Amino acid sequence: MNNIPTLSTLVKQHQKDLLIDWLKEQMASSAWRSDLMTEAELRQQSSEFINLFINALQNDTSSSIESSDWDDVREMLASVSHSRAIQGFSPLETATFVFSLKKPLFTRLHEALKNDVEALDAEMWKATVIVDQLGLYTTGIFQKTREEVIRRQQQEMIELSTPVVKLWEGVLALPLIGTLDSARTQIIMESLLQKIVETSSPIVIIDITGVPTVDTLVAQHLIRTVSAARLMGSDCIISGIRPQIAQTIVHLGVDLHEIITKATLADAFIVALQRTGFRISRPTS
């Protein structure tokens, strides 16, 4: 092998200085969040990354970070990205971790190869290709993590906002309000079934008066819930069905014979009472 320094050999040779310069870059940039991370933590993360980066470079042949040589680096970056996403760093602040490595790398390359334009060109290109890929990868993980967090928060909100009400002994009511999307409906339905077991209620009134539209997916969920409740031993009455919604359900080709439907929750309540052996009467005066 000739003595022309390569990206790989230079990085290994100047590891300590590289780390120092890189840390300086990170902390000088506007992306540094001293409120979310201490200098010691940053140093530890950066040092770990440089070690893995050097190892990967030694073995790397393709400059593609998807190859197995880069597995450890990707894993570490994913971990950094994931935790930063959760801690509240912005995408830019997280990507800066990787991208700010470019300047120290280029500085070293230029110093060592300034008299060999071709070699300088090749190694700088290689460095750019690799760092860019790593930066993009980091951003990708960040995004996935954020989406996951949002999804979980939505789930919690949904669970909190749809109470199941016990109307009477053995009669539960679930007044649905607002637009229903697939995810929300699923969660509501699961919690309804859970309530049925907890209260041993043989009758459930699902009132959809407050639901403006029901698409086929939601109608399917509703029907599935009714089926599941029946399997458990509880019958559902659906109240508040408007003509358009009735049409959707019919279009689905669903056999509605088994599902009792009533125009209003009040009507449904009376049916529920009757089925549990009660009757409302007014004392004659």
Partner 1 sequence: MIIKRHEVFVISASENVITARQAVKKWAVEMGFSLSDQTKLITVTSELVHNIVIYAQNGTMLMEELDDKVRRGLRMTFHDDGPGIADIDRAMQGGYSTGSGLGLGLSGSKRLVDEFSLTSEVGKGTHIVVTRWK
Partner 2 sequence: MDRIPILKIGDILLVSIQVDLHDRLVLTLQDDLTNKLVETGARGVLLDISLVDMVDSFVGRVIANIASMAHILDAEMLLVGMRPEVAITIVELGMSSSLKAVRTALNVEKGMDILREQIAAQKFEHPHDHQTS
Task: Give residues in contact with partner 2 (CB under 8 A).
Answer: 189-190, 193-194, 196-197, 200-202, 224, 227-234, 258
Which of the ranges 51-59, 94-102, 141-149, 160-168 carries the binding residues for partner 1, by CB under 8 A? 141-149
User: In this structure, what token pair is assigned to residue 153?
Assistant: 């928060």
- Answer for the pair 196, 231: CB distance below 8 angstroms, yes or no: no
Q: Strand, coil or helix: what is 160?
A: helix
Looking at the Cβ atoms of 180 and 196, the one nearer to partner 2 is 196
Min dist CB 189 to partner 2, Å, is 8
Residue 141 is a binding residue for partner 1 (CB under 8 A): yes
Looking at the Cβ atoms of 124 and 136, the one nearer to partner 1 is 136
- Answer for the pair 123, 6: CB distance below 8 angstroms, yes or no: yes
Centroid of chain to Cα 157: 14
Which long-range contacts does 37-45 make (Cβ < 8 Å, 24+ apart)? 37/87, 43/19, 45/80, 45/97
Residue 79 interacting entry, from partner 2, partner 1, none, C-beta within 5 to 8 Å by type: partner 1
Min dist CB 144 to partner 1, Å, is 5
Residue 148 interacting entry, from partner 1, partner 2, none, C-beta within 5 to 8 Å by type: partner 1
CA–CA distance, 186 with 97 (Å, rounded to integer): 39
Residue 190 is a binding residue for partner 1 (CB under 8 A): yes
Q: Which of 4, 20, 78, 228 binds partner 1 (CB under 8 A)?
A: 78
Residue 153 is a binding residue for partner 1 (CB under 8 A): no
**Residue 102: burial class (beta carbons within 10 Å; 0-12, 13-18, 19+):** middle
Q: Which of 12, 102, 144, 242 binds partner 1 (CB under 8 A)?
A: 144
Quick one: the chain helix, strand, coil %, rounded to 5?
A: 65, 10, 25
Task: For 220, list phi and psi in degrees, rounded to 5.
Answer: -60, -45
Q: Which of 44, 79, 87, 200 binds partner 1 (CB under 8 A)?
A: 79
Q: Which of 145, 185, 201, 239 binds partner 1 (CB under 8 A)?
A: 145
Interface residues with partner 1 (CB under 8 A)?
Answer: 75, 78-79, 81-82, 141, 144-145, 148, 190
